């Protein structure tokens, strides 16, 4: 499944590690991950939103990171995913599943 990551980037100094961890977990589970954190620096905010929207449209699902509600962009992405009929995943639930799989 192609999964787009949605979470807070602006104002979060640890966002790179958070997105990288989520990408790693989802890849370990066999998914193709579209990670907005890999976009180049220096673009206008509106340009990031346009690119992120296209990434989301190309996905099968959106994975909401725990802080997604604290991000206006991630809330917009969640709403768009719902309108497009994308599967909505919660990272906190996926991560728990992953740990349980490794422990068994």
| Block mean pLDDT (10 aa), the chain, length 104 | 95 93 94 95 92 97 96 94 96 66 49
Provide the pLDDT for residue 103: 47
Cα 35 off chain centre by? 6
Provide the pLDDT for residue 104: 46
Provide the pLDDT for residue 94: 82
pTM recorded for the entire structure: 0.88
- Spatial CA neighbour of 68 closest among 60, 78, 57, 59: 78
């Amino acid at each position: 499944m192609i999964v787009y990551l949605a979470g807070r980037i602006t104002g979060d100094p640890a966002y790179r590690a958070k997105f990288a961890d989520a990408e790693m977990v989802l890849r370990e589970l066999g998914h193709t991950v579209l990670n907005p954190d890999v976009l180049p620096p220096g673009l206008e905010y509106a340009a990031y939103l346009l690119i992120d929207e296209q990434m989301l449209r190309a996905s099968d699902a959106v994975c909401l990171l725990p802080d997604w509600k604290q991000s206006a962009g991630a809330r917009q992405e969640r709403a768009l995913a719902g309108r497009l009929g994308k599967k909505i995943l919660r990272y906190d639930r996926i991560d728990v599943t992953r740990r349980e799989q490794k422990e068994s």
